[in-house]
Structure 1
Amino acid sequence: MFREQKDDRLKRICRIGIVAIVILSLKFVPSGYFAVYPGPVTNLASMVDVSEHPPGDSSFYMVYVMAKDASVLDCIVAAFSRTIALWPKEQVLGGMTPEEYKNKNVDLMAESQQIAASTALRAQNIDVSEQGTFPVSVSIHAGEIQGPSAGLAFALEIFNRTGVDLLQGRRIACTGVLLADGSIQGVGGVAQKTIACEKEGIDIFVVPKVNYDEALRFARSVQIIGVSTFEEAVRALVQDTVP
């Protein structure tokens, strides 16, 4: 009898061990997806420099997502997680190699900075040449951050430095691709960005209007404002109403 009980315990231990090995092995099996997580919420005070216009008591925040190659185990975890999204790698890369995709996003970040500066300065009636040279020196130090989705945040920070105080003591984060005509395009990862803003204690999160409903689904205490143009974003923050 005791021997049978011992054998049963050994069998249970073996079964548990086998299951554990199978589960752990899934961590090394590629899935063809990127796992996307909430990223940092970054204050722009030290990232944006505008000559003769230092940052005030507060600055805007940019927010971005973190992504990694997802294993099969990551996909299983994501299926039960509110904070993790799965993006098909083929759809994200669009036929590019990872290196080509990275280089493209480096270029898009540089372009978004130029558009942000010209849009913000023109909105303040500061002359900007057709060649894109500015009478006010503007530089943005984004480090390793890539892509165009911080364009709206950069523009609002520059506008805030050179004119009216849009913040009024509020903690405001933004995301959105700003185009040269002042319109704002949608971005990915808004759910994860909203979650990050909640954790950071952000008061207002400004998003592209096309992403408004998604952000609202994941918002708890943060106020969501959806906008379609830069002018609309400025007006909404001045009035503190959703357009």
Structure 2
Amino acid sequence: MKDKKRFSLKSFLPYILIALFALVFVVRIPYYIEGPGSTENLKDFVTVDGKTDDSSGGFYLTTVGVRKATIATAIFAHFSDFNELVSKEELMGSSTNKEYEQIQKYYMDSSQNAAIEQAMKLAGVDYEMTFKGVYVLTIDEKSDFKGKIAVGDTVTGVDGKTFKSSEELVAYIKGLKVGQEVTVSFEHDGEEKEATGDLIELSTKNPGIGIGLTDHTEITSDTSVEIDAGSIGGPSAGLMFTLETYELLTNKNIRKGHEIAGTGTINSEGVVGRIGGIDKKVVTASQNGAEIFFAPDDEISEEIREENPDIKTNYEEAVEAGKKINTEMKIVPVKTVQDALDYLENLEEK
């Protein structure tokens, strides 16, 4: 009778090692890594009347890279200055993946709209802003319209009435009663739809549909401006879109041959707003050869400083990151798009 083979730990060691490798390097954990992303030449994104930018130098948007974490990348992030481990809630709030993508797409569309408006205003090009409805950013769990209206939809009317701003819509709803039935008209994936439900009591004690909202506008002009950012989302490219569009509208070669990156939101007054992850954007811009980086020099209120005494402006954060990587890239503070144009006006030809 043959002896039974004895199994030892040594015989299983290769399989154990493979399993450990997969666990550490391959299996995803429920966290994300934020780190330096890409630096994108806006010549590839913006056209005016079908023409692209062929002037020397370039304007660049910068991104924060987001990827699902593994144990290995989480450990790496812990010891890295420019990679950060964040939870899904920290990244997306209470939104689902689809809702988060919809919100980021809205922010990008809104950013492009504001950039085109500012560039046309500064270049003296005629345009009109058209109110398309109210964009749905969030939906209250208690809303009677939960499951009927989705994040990313555009509310176009209530009870057959249309409005010229979100303020008008809110004012109309305030005049109704909690529990009153209303019919909401909205656009979903390009289709006009209607949903009926009861108004709920908001935290303000006023009646409401139970949605977070903002104006959904569209700019029209005889001059055609197209911005195609592909899968990039969020509002932080507003300043750089404005500068690239202005360059195409004026043909002034305002860069004077320089490679210029930057970040910052833009609003209807031309104010450059604060963004997240600016340290990571400084890193990717420097790594990709930018000579100049525009950083928002945002105002921080006394109330915010009281809550967070260590808070820094985006510009201060950018300078700090630049020192850590010993970059030769010049970091320039801007409060408005005009600040950026004034800086470019005094820039020497390369």
Q: Which TM-score bucket, shorter chain as reference?
A: 0.7 to 0.9
- Asked whether the equivalents of residues 53 and 162 of structure 1 are also in contact (C-alpha less than 8 Å), the reply is no
| Structure 1 residue identity aligned to 2:342 | R
Distance 1:109 1:27 in 2: 33
Flag the 1:87–1:185 CA change in 2: closer, same or farther, 3 A.
farther
Q: Secondary structure at the match of 1:104?
A: helix
Q: CA deviation at 1:116?
A: 0.6
Q: Secondary structure at the match of 2:76?
A: helix
Flag the 1:29–1:52 CA change in 2: closer, same or farther, 3 A.
closer
TM-score, structure 2 normalization: 0.60
Among residues 227, 233, 237, which one is paired with 1:140 in the alignment? 227
Tell me whether 1:206 sits opposite 2:206 in the alignment: no
Counterpart mapping for 1:16-95 below 5 A: 25-27=23-25, 31-51=29-49, 54-55=52-53, 56-95=55-94
Q: Secondary structure at the match of 2:244?
A: helix
Q: Secondary structure at the match of 1:149?
A: coil
TM-score, structure 1 normalization: 0.84
Q: CA deviation at 1:93?
A: 0.8
State the Cα deviation string for residues 22-41 of structure 1 (Å, max 9, x = none).
57524466554320121221
Counterpart mapping for 1:125-164 below 5 A: 125-131=124-130, 132-163=219-250, 164=252
Distance 2:50 2:227 in 1: 15
Distance 1:204 1:153 in 2: 12
Flag the 1:166–1:86 CA change in 2: closer, same or farther, 3 A.
farther
Flag the 1:24–1:81 CA change in 2: closer, same or farther, 3 A.
farther
Q: Secondary structure at the match of 1:60?
A: strand
Distance 1:137 1:47 in 2: 14
Distance 2:220 2:344 in 1: 28
Residue in 2 that maps onto 1:175: 263
Residue in 2 that maps onto 1:108: 107
User: RMSD over aligned Cα, in angstroms?
Assistant: 2.7
Tell me whether 1:234 sits opposite 2:341 in the alignment: yes
Q: CA deviation at 1:204?
A: 0.3
Gaps in structure 1 of 5+ consecutive residues: 1-10
- Asked whether the equivalents of residues 35 and 75 of structure 1 are also in contact (C-alpha less than 8 Å), the reply is yes
State the Cα deviation string for residues 173-200 of structure 1 (Å, max 9, x = none).
1211111221121111211111111111
| Structure 1 residue identity aligned to 2:56 | D
Gaps in structure 2 of 5+ consecutive residues: 1-8, 131-218, 298-312
Distance 1:191 1:34 in 2: 17
Tell me whether 1:223 sits opposite 2:330 in the alignment: yes
- Asked whether the equivalents of residues 202 and 222 of structure 1 are also in contact (C-alpha less than 8 Å), the reply is yes
State the Cα deviation string for residues 50-94 of structure 1 (Å, max 9, x = none).
127541233311111210122333221111223312233212211
Distance 2:280 2:38 in 1: 10
Larger helix fraction of residues:
1
Distance 2:31 2:340 in 1: 34
Distance 1:74 1:115 in 2: 37
Distance 1:130 1:44 in 2: 24
Larger strand fraction of residues:
2
Distance 1:110 1:228 in 2: 22
Q: CA deviation at 1:20?
A: 8.9
State the Cα deviation string for residues 2-37 of structure 1 (Å, max 9, x = none).
xxxxxxxxx9xx99x979965752446655432012
Residue in 2 that maps onto 1:124: 123
- Asked whether the equivalents of residues 47 and 248 of structure 2 are also in contact (C-alpha less than 8 Å), the reply is no
Q: Secondary structure at the match of 1:130?
A: strand
Q: CA deviation at 1:143?
A: 1.0
Larger Rg: 2
- Asked whether the equivalents of residues 256 and 347 of structure 2 are also in contact (C-alpha less than 8 Å), the reply is no
Distance 2:99 2:346 in 1: 42
Residue in 2 that maps onto 1:5: none
Identity %: 30
Number of positions where the alignment pairs a residue of Structure 1 with one of Structure 2: 232
